[in-house]
A and B are shown apart, each in its own frame.
Chain A
Amino acid sequence: SQKIEQNSEALNIQEGKTATLTCNYTNYSPAYLQWYRQDPGRGPVFLLLIRENEKEKRKERLKVTFDTTLKQSLFHITASQPADSATYLCALDRGSTLGRLYFGRGTQLTVWP
């Protein structure tokens, strides 16, 4: 089965710095990889999607990279703010039409002033 590891359970950084979260996977090569944000007491919210033939995708202060050789995705938040504090989940599929997403455990990011 697909195994997904996110670099750490918690990451603490100072406001204004760049946060970098890691997602590593094994066994399969996904066609798509997605990143979600989850706030306490809420469901995950979709942020970005990157395809296997894309190396990088940006959205405002967010940047995602996808290295299929390393089987790794990096999620960057530049100029981080306390409002960015949340848990970030990566999710991938197997490129099939089965519809299933495999989620990592998430990394809890805290940005302190």
Chain B
Amino acid sequence: DAGVIQSPRHEVTEMGQEVTLRCKPISGHDYLFWYRQTMMRGLELLIYFNNNVPIDDSGMPEDRFSAKMPNASFSTLKIQPSEPRDSAVYFCASSATGTGVQPQHFGDGTRLSIL
């Protein structure tokens, strides 16, 4: 079975550039989560969707970050303009339900470096 697919795996860009991260959740999953992981702060939830609708975006750091889910099989996380402090590993995860009963399935992440 195909898991959660993220692209690109690595992204290196200069400060001020627009960055777009992509995610394809597991088919049939109706929840999608975007996380950021750093050594300092661990795994932080940025935003999550239920049936393509954003439910909680309180973890989005600031207005430079935006996320969309135009359909059940695709989501993007965009940073514009990017800053060096945005450097981190960004994970996308999906789950079959929104409760704690079902596990979250993670992609292998996008390692983002902003120079």
Which chain A residues have a beta carbon within 8 Å of chain B's beta carbons?
30-34, 36, 41-46, 49, 89, 91-93, 95-101, 103-106
Contacts and interface: CB of A to CB of B under 8 A. Distances in A.
Nearest to B99: A97
Contacts of A34: 100, 103
A49 B55 contact: no
Contacts of B25: none
Contacts, number: 68
A21 to B, nearest CB: 15
Max chain A Cβ within 10 angstroms of own Cβ: one of B45, B48, B91, B104:
B104
A100 B109 contact: no
B103 A46 contact: yes
Contacts of B108: 41-43
B56 interface: yes
A18 B49 CA distance: 39
A105 B56 CA distance: 21
A44 B43 CA distance: 10
B100 A44 contact: no
Interface string B77-113: 0000000000000010101011111011111110000
Given A30-B100, A43-B108, A99 B50 contact: yes
Contact of B56 (A30, A42, A100): A100
Given A31-B99, A46-B105, A101-B104, 8 more contacts: A32-B100, A34-B103, A45-B106, A46-B104, A91-B104, A99-B48, A99-B99, A100-B48
13 contacts: A31-B99, A32-B99, A33-B100, A36-B103, A41-B108, A41-B109, A42-B108, A45-B106, A46-B105, A99-B95, A101-B45, A101-B100, A103-B42
A32 B100 CA distance: 6
Max chain B Cβ within 10 angstroms of own Cβ: one of A30, A31, A97:
A97
Nearest to A93: B100
Contact of B106 (A31, A44, A92, A93): A44
